[in-house]
Structure 1
Amino acid sequence: MIELDDTDRFILRALLRDASQSAGAIGRQLGLSQPAVWRRIRRLETEGVIKGIRLRLNAEALGFGVTVFLGVKLARKGQVSLDDFERAVSAIPEVQTVEHVLGLYDFRLRVVARDLSDFERVLRRRIMTLPGAGDVEANVLLSEERRPGPIG
């Protein structure tokens, strides 16, 4: 585990708010030079604290107005491997995330669809036809607030 000081935490919070900020812009907020901030960011990347920078798309603006969290329990665990199911479900474009979880279900999926009838089509024709797909539980997202999580 890496030791983080207040400056590292400030940089991480700034990047969580807007990852497109330059090291110079963050440095001006901190009273540090651009190279000093850049070196700290590189160290945080090298140490694995920063795993990458992602672009978040607005699914609703792209015509996908429904997000569903789907719990999937494999029907035949011995006959179909978890890896095979994960690989197959990851190939479905509407499936945004695939998480192998411990609990009642084996996988938790985040699925986007244009509307509920489109989700039903994706569920019936794509997800439920996958090898090993068994019981499912769907939870429709009503609203979402993203939190950055704890920073050391």
Structure 2
Amino acid sequence: MIDLDDTDRAMIRAVAADALISAGALGRQLGLSQPAAWRRLKRLRDAGVFRGPRLDLDAQALGFSVTVFLGVKLATKGRVSLEDFERAVTAIPEVQTVEHVLGLYDYRLRVVARDIADFERVLRRRIMTLPGVGNIDANVLLSEERLPGPIG
């Protein structure tokens, strides 16, 4: 874990808002010289604070108007069952995230579809046929607000 000061936190917020911001612009925004901003940014990157640049796609603009969160409980438990399920579910292009969780369900999936009929097709033909699937619970996303992380 890296020790962060107020300038580091401000830098993280600025980079979260614009991942392509230059060290010069970052320095001007934070009251640092370009070399000082670059050194701090490099230290944060080297420490693994930033996992790398990310492309944030707008699913609706690409024609995917439905997002559904699925809670999946496996019928059988065991290392082989988990690995088989994970390998199979990550091959489904409509599944955006796969989270192994503790609680009522074993996995939480974020699934996108063009419409409800398309989601039903994905659910019936792809997800319900995965190895080890037992119970499935669905929650349709109505709206989403992106909030800053704990650094904010």
TM-score when normalising by structure 2 = 0.95
After the TM superposition, which residues 1-150 of structure 1 pair with which residues of structure 2 at under 5 Å, given as runs? 1-78=1-78, 80-150=80-150
Deviation above 4 Å: which 4+ runs of structure 1?
Answer: none
CA contact (8 A) 1:80 1:131 kept: no
In the TM superposition, what is the alpha-carbon distance from 1:81 to its structure 2 partner?
A: 2.1
Q: Hey, what's the Cα distance between the residues in 2 that align with 1:44 and 1:2?
A: 8
Q: Which runs of 5+ in 2 are unaligned?
A: none
CA contact (8 A) 2:81 2:131 kept: no
Q: Which runs of 5+ in 1 are unaligned?
A: none
Task: Give the AA of the match of 1:23.
Answer: A
- 1:95-131 CA distances to partner (integer Å, 9 max, x unpaired)? 0000000001000000000000100000000011111
CA contact (8 A) 2:68 2:111 kept: yes
Task: Give the AA of the match of 2:52.
Answer: G
Q: Hey, what's the Cα distance between the residues in 2 that align with 1:68 and 1:76?
A: 24
- 1:27-47 CA distances to partner (integer Å, 9 max, x unpaired)? 111121222112111111111
- 1:61-101 CA distances to partner (integer Å, 9 max, x unpaired)? 00000000000001122485212211110110000000000
Change (3 A) 1:50 1:78: closer
Identity fraction in percent: 77
Give the 3-state SS of the residue equivalent to 1:57 in structure 2: coil
Deviates more, 1:23-32 or 1:6-15: 23-32
CA contact (8 A) 2:94 2:112 kept: yes
Q: Aligned-residue CA RMSD in angstroms?
A: 1.4
